[in-house]
Amino acid sequence: MQYSGELIRALQAVVGTRGVVMGDAALMTYEADGCVMDLHAPNIVVLPQTSEQTAAIVKIAHQARIPVVARGAGTGLSGGATPIHGGIVIAMTRMDQVLEVDAANRRVRVQPGVINWELSQQLAPHGYAFMPDPSSQKACTLGGNIANNSGGPHCLKYGMTTNHVLALRTVLPNGDLIWTGNGRIDTVGYDLAGVMTGSEGMFGIVTEAWVRMTRLPEALRVVLALFPDIPSASQTVSTIIARGILPAALEMMDKLAIKAVNGMYKLGLPDSAGSALLIEVDGVSDGLDELLAQVVGICREHGAIEVRPATTAAEQAQVWAARKNAFGAMGRLSPSYYLVDTVVPRTKLPAILAHVGDVAKDFHLPIANVFHAGDGNLHPLILFDRRDKQQLERALGAATEILKESVRLGGVVSGEHGIGVEKRDYMDILFTTADLAAMAGLRKSFDPLDLFNPGKVFPARTGCGELAELRQNAISANEITALPSGTWI
């Protein structure tokens, strides 16, 4: 659909002609994020440089009842930034400034387009870092991290993005611009920053954020431990935590993933390795070697075939690069992969990984595993060729099996990548109609017209409006009735 000249001129008046992107070829860039299962181009893309411009764009869209999708770097893996109903994509990449470093209050004020890695680089000379570190950190933005409540290897010890967000400046779906607090003292009233974080761009568009700066540890130690199989590494993870040790990171790779990174990073790991744990401990120097020795002892107790400390900064950077770029290394094994994001209680890791192995056999597709083992956050990578329709079908079927088993084992369907489009139809495996209705009621209170990132999070067969209506009825009748089957739309 072509937008009217009047609408285009109104947007250009806000951001200038170079801030408005049109034309099929240019819009193709915005038709998906990192999840290329669902493609849909927007009608127009607008690139604001300030909060006020963002609010003005939203006001225009609101008046014209046009859907709006915020976009950071587009590295999301759940289709969150994909404009499945078209409309206006507001790309935040020009708002990429670190505005204020406030060391006295251990906080930093940023625009949402700041790249996660660059923020930590800018904070390092002050002795600080922004701790949530998704493996995509060299590309993804703070806005995307906040909207998805992203995690990363160091979130085991330091917490997810939500634990680092202090206050947000946000454009609401009607174009109002609010601050959720001042980022210095606890806000009274509802915790709106908490509500916004993880809301996948459906409640508001973040245009500025106060986030926590965390003091860099005095020292750290990294060790790579190789095991004959998955159960021995999984047991090691459980024992480390059970003995009261909280590593900064505790990451696992299976045999297939080791093969991929070995080829790419020349790590020289033995073929006999069935799994590897990358373990980092950090803190004050005193006692850190003893802590590492304890960790190494636990690895050996559980049958580690080799334990390799990464002693120099260069060695540490090499093993971390291998882990953080492991997804990219899959290109050595297969033309495409489908990355599943799921979580189980840590003690259920051996059971779910055995199930993943069975699924690989049943669906005749290789599956590699690279994941945040300390959190029980699994990332099976289903390897397939997307040009082959049958393989695509099998990959989708395999993912469903893994997700269902995760829920059966007491887990959830996403650890950090968000629900977006990809996982929306799994939401009713996990939640009751009443649960979903409560969420829809919250959504509706921010966005009664369903304009911000429509079509995400709620099952496709359930209208968000329908759930909100149920919620509304429930509030008046003080009860929630289950949706009769066949009423899903």
Ligand X SMILES: Cc1cc2nc3c(=O)[nH]c(=O)nc-3n(C[C@H](O)[C@H](O)[C@H](O)COP(=O)(O)OP(=O)(O)OC[C@H]3O[C@@H](n4cnc5c(N)ncnc54)[C@H](O)[C@@H]3O)c2cc1C
- Residue 125 C-beta: closest distance to ligand X, Å: 24
CA dihedral for 48, 53, 57, 62, sign (positive or negative): positive
- Residue 330 C-beta: closest distance to ligand X, Å: 10
- Residue 48 C-beta: closest distance to ligand X, Å: 10
33 or 282, CB closer to ligand X? 33
76 or 247, CB closer to ligand X? 76
Residues that bind ligand X (CB under 6 A): 33-34, 69-77, 80-81, 92, 112, 134-136, 140-141, 143-145, 147-148, 150-152, 200-201, 205-206, 327, 416-417, 453
- Residue 170 C-beta: closest distance to ligand X, Å: 8
95 or 409, CB closer to ligand X? 95
What whole-number distance in Å separates Cα of residue 154 and Cα of residue 133? 6
Q: Which of these, 374, 370, 308, 315, lies nearest to 345 by C-alpha position? A: 374
- Residue 272 C-beta: closest distance to ligand X, Å: 28
- Amino acid present at 483: L
128 or 327, CB closer to ligand X? 327
- Residue 297 C-beta: closest distance to ligand X, Å: 29
- Residue 112 C-beta: closest distance to ligand X, Å: 4
What whole-number distance in Å separates Cα of residue 71 and Cα of residue 18? 18
Q: CA-based angle 244:269:363, to the nearest 5?
A: 85
DSSP labels, 146-181: HHHT---TTHHHH--GGGGEEEEEEE-TTS-EEES-
323 or 348, CB closer to ligand X? 323
Residues 90 and 102: beta-carbon distance below 8 Å: no
327 or 363, CB closer to ligand X? 327
- Residue 103 C-beta: closest distance to ligand X, Å: 25
What whole-number distance in Å separates Cα of residue 112 and Cα of residue 288? 36
What whole-number distance in Å separates Cα of residue 293 and Cα of residue 295? 5
58 or 240, CB closer to ligand X? 58
Q: How many other CB atoms are found less than 10 A from the CB of residue 460?
A: 14
- Residue 273 C-beta: closest distance to ligand X, Å: 23
Q: Spell out the residues 6+ positions from residue 297 whose beta carbon is closer than 8 angstroms to its own.
A: none
The residue nearest ligand X at its CB is: 144
Helix (H, G, I), strand (E, B) or coil at 471: helix
Q: Spell out the residues 6+ positions from residue 128 whose beta carbon is closer than 8 angstroms to its own.
A: 103, 106, 108, 213, 214, 215, 216
Q: Which of these, 11, 24, 124, lies nearest to 60 by C-alpha position? A: 11
- Residue 327 C-beta: closest distance to ligand X, Å: 4
Helix (H, G, I), strand (E, B) or coil at 466: helix
171 or 436, CB closer to ligand X? 171
CA dihedral for 214, 200, 191, 66, sign (positive or negative): positive
**H or E element at residue 91:** strand 88-91
141 or 391, CB closer to ligand X? 141
Look at phi and psi of residue 46 and say left if phi exceeds 0, alpha if psi is from -120 to 50, else beta: beta
Rounded to a whole number of angstroms, the CA Rg of the chain reads: 23
Provide the token pair at 254: 């299976």
70 or 367, CB closer to ligand X? 70
199 or 235, CB closer to ligand X? 199
- Residue 228 C-beta: closest distance to ligand X, Å: 27
